[in-house]
Structure 1
Amino acid sequence: MVERFLNWLSLKLHDKRSIDGLLIVYIGDEKINKVAAALKLISDFDPVRYKRMRHDLNRIWVLTIAGWVARYRQATSTCELDERFVLNEGTTPERIASTIVHEATHARLGRCGIGYKEELRARVEQVCIRREMAFAKKLPRGADIGQRAEVKLNTLSNLSDAAMAERYYEGKRKALLYLGGPRWLNDRVISLHRWLHLRRLKRQDTARSRDPRN
């Protein structure tokens, strides 16, 4: 409930612009310009994918996220882009476009009933990365994007629940530092999150052990 309220408040405080019916949420002209340029690349060079993406996504939100340069929020059909990634001088519109294609593929798979459970995670990521590679081949300057995607496909990191949780916590620490939080407070916040996560897992294990169907 608290997280839902904070998301609502953050949405109200951000700037918003609609591009072909797709809501872009951001703060700062540089962010919207780079995202708009990325969307134009998808529209110009892969119009079929662009049309499908506009159906699968409700909005693209540029904000600070933990652990990843982007992620897909199924509850709100949102592609979230980390603002540090978007604003980085080395991040081209092509890279942003490829990342949006990746997250939009998550959206498409979700609509087909394919989730992101641990046992499916590697296969899902492979599908999304292959979509990036296919998109890169259509871009005039897509060679670098295709190479990055191919390396990512061949070197998939550990995608277990435990590894994903640790990646999130480390990313959360960096995000809090980026936002100006004092290190001592950040460490305590991360410790609390990790403790709550482990407690939740323990309750789930206890519930499963008591389930007569197991």
Structure 2
Amino acid sequence: MRQKKAAEPQRDMRSFVDRLARQGAVKLSRKLTVDGLKIVGDKGTDKIVEALGLIRDFDPVRYRRLLRDVGQILVTVLPASVAQWAEASKACELDERYLIDDARTAEHVASTIVHEATHARLMRCGIGYEEEIRDRVERVCLRREIAFAARLPIGADAAQRAEANLEAMPDFSDKAMRERHLDGLRDALLYLNMPVWLVSLMVSYRRWQHRRRVARRATG
């Protein structure tokens, strides 16, 4: 989903480990460039390159916009979603586990990149990600996914996944987004090979922070 500039919940729940992983990825990971677009990551980059080729070949207008709006594609580990748009760094961030999943084809990845690039385009047009418009913004991005997938020779599955997401939209309130982040944090940290005891400690601390914040708002 993404880390929008205007989205307070994303700023609130961005943990130290999240930032550390992101910074480490940029500094230490392999880097390559496709048509001037930087791709940063050690795993799944071949699938990203193939996905970009699909966008370029089957939707060239959208591809040219993508190159203007997106500064880089970063492979990282995301607790709450398979992808998100990071407005501050102009980056489309993709979850490494999503990319290396054999069930996820280049068509799926291309559709996901189109989704996040639509967030970038909306941001560029002055449309933010405030809680009251978040559901509508996500619907716009999913419809762009569906329209793009319809152009692909074998894009039916990618289109069906986007249509299913559109039919069963999750709750995009601040509270629900924080909870999804916390729910996925443990698996993300374990995937990063952090010791189990430290993961448990950090997740417990983050949940305590969340409960304390909720209590303060309730009494305030």
For the superposition of Structure 1 and Structure 2, which TM-score range results when normalised by the shorter chain? 0.7 to 0.9
Q: Secondary structure at the match of 2:97?
A: helix
- 1:137 equivalent among 138, 150, 153: 150
Aligned to 1:19: 34
Task: Give, in angstroms, the shift of residue 205 of structure 1.
Answer: 7.3
Q: Does residue 157 of structure 1 match 2:173? A: no
CA distance in structure 2 between the aligned counterparts of 1:205 and 1:115, rounded to whole angstroms: 26
Q: Does residue 147 of structure 1 match 2:154? A: no
**Matched residue type, 2:148:** F
- 2:103 equivalent among 85, 90, 102: 90
Where do residues 46-125 of structure 1 align in structure 2 (5 Å cutoff)?
46-125=59-138
Task: Give, in angstroms, the shift of residue 203 of structure 1.
Answer: 6.1
My pick for the range that moved more, 110-119 or 131-140, is 110-119
Aligned to 2:48: 35
Matched residue pairs, number? Answer: 204
Q: Does residue 179 of structure 1 match 2:186? A: no
**Unaligned residue ranges in structure 2 (runs of 5+):** 1-15
TM-score norm. by structure 1 comes to 0.88
Aligned to 1:212: none
Task: Give, in angstroms, the shift of residue 119 of structure 1.
Answer: 1.0
CA distance in structure 2 between the aligned counterparts of 1:52 and 1:181, rounded to whole angstroms: 39
TM-score norm. by structure 2 comes to 0.86
My pick for the range that moved more, 175-184 or 145-154, is 175-184
Task: State which structure, 1 or 2, has the greater radius of gyration over its C-alpha atoms.
Answer: 1
Give the 3 Å change call, closer, same or farther, for CA 117–202 of structure 1 in structure 2: farther
Q: Secondary structure at the match of 2:85?
A: strand
Give the 3 Å change call, closer, same or farther, for CA 62–5 of structure 1 in structure 2: closer
1:158-184 superposed Cα distances (whole Å, 9 cap, x missing partner): 111111111101111111111222333
% identical aligned pairs: 50
CA distance in structure 2 between the aligned counterparts of 1:195 and 1:132, rounded to whole angstroms: 37
My pick for the range that moved more, 50-59 or 189-198, is 189-198
1:56-113 superposed Cα distances (whole Å, 9 cap, x missing partner): 1000011111111001101011000001000001010000000000000011111111
CA distance in structure 2 between the aligned counterparts of 1:89 and 1:180, rounded to whole angstroms: 21
**Matched residue type, 1:37:** E
**Matched residue type, 2:32:** R
CA distance in structure 2 between the aligned counterparts of 1:45 and 1:150, rounded to whole angstroms: 20
Q: Secondary structure at the match of 1:71?
A: strand
Give the 3 Å change call, closer, same or farther, for CA 122–67 of structure 1 in structure 2: same
Task: Give, in angstroms, the shift of residue 48 of structure 1.
Answer: 0.3
